[in-house]
Structure 1
Amino acid sequence: MWTQGKVVKRIDWNDELFSLFIEAHIGDFTAGQFVKLGLDIDGKRVGRAYSLVNAPDSPLLEVLLISVEDGKLSPALNQLQPGDNLNVSAKASGFMTLDWVPEASHLWLMATGTAIGPFISMLRTQEPWQRFKQIVLVYGVRLAADLAYEQELRSLATKYGERFTYIASITRESVAGALTCRIPDALQQGLLEKRAELTISPEHSQVMLCGNPAMIADTQSQLTARGLTKNMKRKPGHISMERYW
């Protein structure tokens, strides 16, 4: 079921990466869930799922998108300006939420590209700060210009001090303060744990992976070798994941 939404603001992070702020009435949702956005194109409604970046108590829906040149929907969404209408699913969905994450001392959030969105939503709520002693966010992109919400993440690092570590991993250029390799490679080389001054272990860690399938598969493989298991409803583990492609 669809409801009508209206774009009230947008942020352009670079030529392709942008955030839309949408006024729409949907039901209650949990940080980490997604909605579908839709437009009528050539007489046919085209809809795709996008994670919500806003906290559940925000008056506006917020989504982070990238315009894919041959995409069916994203180029049209990239043309939207404040005042334009679009269709929004009337209810959010998805299980990439902290509701399904067991208790632990340390929460590791690892994302690539626009998959940072659900983690931003979570960090805008009180739940992760109340449940975990330390939180590490690893954000993998190709170029520094692809880092959306970086100022907000740096502000969180300042606010929470040693409780929050933000690690940028930029693969196609060298940037001061950032790692220069893929997330799985940084994990394998011990760079993530060195930067965070924490060890990933079954005893103390929960890891949430969100991003491209290759990153998730390679990272999960390494975590499994360390004794961490996939978190399932009937059998709690240590790794929660959502492919974002």
Structure 2
Amino acid sequence: MSQNCTVDDTAPTETAHALTIRDIRWWSPTLFSLTLERPEAFRFLSGQFARLGLPVDGEWVWRAYSICSSVYDEQLEFLSIVVPDGVFTQALKDIQVGDTLWVDKRNFGTLTTDRFRAQDELWMLATGTGLAPFMSVLRDPYTWERFERVVLVHSVRNSDELAYREWLENLAGDELFGEFAERFRYIKVVTREECPGAFALRIPELVQTGILERAAGLEFSAERSAVMLCGNPAMLRQMKTVLQERGLSVNKKSSPGNILWENGFLPEDNRQPDL
């Protein structure tokens, strides 16, 4: 752990769990996963996020992180990038197996599949670490009971940022979820270097040109498509517009529609509490 991270008498023992780091995996020089022990009392829905905390230079710093792990896993898993000037991630990147990370006892978020109604085809469109909540969704048996077809699109700058790529490309070999592989499509997008099997255009352009639908073998449909978005706010805004032009609607509590992202991830969400 960073020498600047020390636990003192101000530790939030009433509101947060002090959890031990069990494993760390670096996908690239700036992208890594953390696996923590999971308290029995910590419950969440696939797609939700938690608040992680560390003491940095005598001050507690908290950040929201989507949960990667399955709702049934005995551990909690999170995906993080290293932000060059980020107070929290600069401390988090130095954490070691056996160190303590604090996790708020509450879970948060509305990016969950139970927000959809009659749709039976699930699209998950992610950039960067926006992949995290969708890893949890994919590892939830309810997802495969609820949807006939599932498509994951992950867009990154460089190929080494395609976290969990091996598992996603080899779902058929998974002991628990292999039986669903024929109903799943994993589409890779790498925008800053050549990557075999990956598209180079950004997600909105792939939709506008029809390339994405041809690759998935599905078409966006107001009747059948449930679309979850997570990642760069610019992508969220553009995809919202692109999909609305195709006749899809925003999913709201009062009027369930097709397009869903985490409430609060866009500034304009704060003016639309119904999301």
TM-score where L is the length of structure 1: 0.96
Query: Aligned equivalents of 2:158 and 2:135: distance in 1?
Result: 19
Q: Deviations over 1:79-124 (max 9, x none)?
A: 1111111211012111111121223121100001011010000110
Answering whether residue 218 of structure 2 is matched by residue 198 of structure 1, we say yes
RMSD: 1.5
Residue 90 of structure 1 aligns with which residue?
Answer: 105
Residue 10 of structure 1 aligns with which residue?
Answer: 24
Q: Deviations over 1:163-203 (max 9, x none)?
A: 11110011111211111011001111111101011110102
Query: Aligned equivalents of 1:139 and 1:80: distance in 2?
Result: 27
Answering whether residue 185 of structure 2 is matched by residue 170 of structure 1, we say no
Query: Aligned equivalents of 1:147 and 1:32: distance in 2?
Result: 19
Q: Give the alignment partner of residue 152 of structure 1, picking from 167, 184, 187.
A: 167
CA contact (8 A) 1:104 1:205 kept: yes
Mind listing any 5+ residue stretches in structure 1 that lack a counterpart?
A: none
1:161 Cα offset (Å): 4.0
Query: Aligned equivalents of 2:119 and 2:166: distance in 1?
Result: 27
Answering whether residue 95 of structure 2 is matched by residue 75 of structure 1, we say no
1:157 and 1:227, CA in 2 relative to 1: closer, same or farther beyond 3 A?
A: farther
Mind listing any 5+ residue stretches in structure 2 that lack a counterpart?
A: 1-14, 267-275
Residue 12 of structure 2 aligns with which residue?
Answer: none
1:130 Cα offset (Å): 0.7
Query: Aligned equivalents of 2:116 and 2:189: distance in 1?
Result: 25
- Where 1:13 maps in the other structure, the secondary structure is strand
Query: Aligned equivalents of 2:117 and 2:231: distance in 1?
Result: 21
Query: Aligned equivalents of 1:15 and 1:173: distance in 2?
Result: 16
TM-score where L is the length of structure 2: 0.86
- Where 2:242 maps in the other structure, the secondary structure is helix
Query: Aligned equivalents of 2:55 and 2:232: distance in 1?
Result: 28
Map 1:31-70 onto structure 2 (within 5 A).
31-70=46-85
Structure number with bigger Rg: 2
Give the stretch that moved more between structures: 120-129 or 152-161.
Answer: 152-161
Q: Give the alignment partner of residue 237 of structure 2, picking from 200, 205, 217.
A: 217
- Where 1:198 maps in the other structure, the secondary structure is coil
- Where 1:21 maps in the other structure, the secondary structure is strand
Q: Deviations over 1:37-66 (max 9, x none)?
A: 111111110010101100111111100000
The percentage of aligned residue pairs carrying the same residue is 42
1:214 and 1:157, CA in 2 relative to 1: closer, same or farther beyond 3 A?
A: farther
Instruction: Read off the aligned partner of 1:139 and give its amino acid letter.
Output: H
- Where 2:219 maps in the other structure, the secondary structure is coil
1:234 and 1:178, CA in 2 relative to 1: closer, same or farther beyond 3 A?
A: same
- Where 2:97 maps in the other structure, the secondary structure is coil
CA contact (8 A) 1:3 1:24 kept: no
Query: Aligned equivalents of 1:181 and 1:95: distance in 2?
Result: 29
Map 1:87-126 onto structure 2 (within 5 A).
87-126=102-141
- Where 2:131 maps in the other structure, the secondary structure is helix
Query: Aligned equivalents of 1:199 and 1:6: distance in 2?
Result: 44
Residue 20 of structure 1 aligns with which residue?
Answer: 34
Query: Aligned equivalents of 2:53 and 2:225: distance in 1?
Result: 38
Aligned residues: 245
1:22 Cα offset (Å): 0.9
